[in-house]
Amino acid sequence: MEGGISNYLQNQIKQAQQLENQIEQLGSQKYQIDLRIKELSKTIEELEKINDGVPVYKSVGPVLYKVDDRAKLIEDLKEQKELSEIRIKTIEKQQKSLDEKYRELEQAIQKAYGGQTSK
């Protein structure tokens, strides 16, 4: 070897960096969805406290419109929350899988690098 690292090892390191980026992106997505779930939970809680005669408005982009069926709105928000929770679970599974791949790759890199330095 000419003092450099092999193409195999360079490829492994590149794959590890890609996995790190994917794990980081999933973490960011999970954080955003978690914030959304908290926001939905608070909104649902507040809507359930309101008396029937109080008008409720929904924001769609820059427009607010009056909601006639508050129960339907609450049901829609609960459905959004449930879908977000499912998405979080999916992200957690993806993160776990990528973490395992990353650890395996890290061990392979350490083994390959250790083998090169001992020569």
Residue 1: predicted pLDDT: 43
Compute the average pLDDT of residues 90-117. Answer: 88
* CA pair distance 5, 117, nearest whole angstrom: 9
pLDDT winner (highest mean) among 40-44, 65-69, 104-108: 40-44
Average pLDDT of the segment spanning 24-40: 97
Lowest mean pLDDT among 32-41, 84-93, 100-109: 100-109
Question: How far apart, in whole angstroms, are the C-alpha atoms of residue 12 and residue 105?
Answer: 7
Q: What is the pLDDT averaged over residues 70-88? A: 96
Q: Flag whether pLDDT at 70 surpasses 70.
A: yes
**If you search the block for the tokens 């069926």, which residue do you land on?**
69
Confidence of residue 116 (pLDDT cuts 50, 70, 90): low
The full DSSP string for 47-100 is HHHS-TTS-EEEEETTEEEEES-HHHHHHHHHHHHHHHHHHHHHHHHHHHHHHH
What pTM, to 2 d.p., does this model score?
0.78
The rounded mean pLDDT for the chain is 90
CATH numbers and ranges of domains, the chain: 7-117 (1.10.287.370)
pLDDT at position 4 is 62
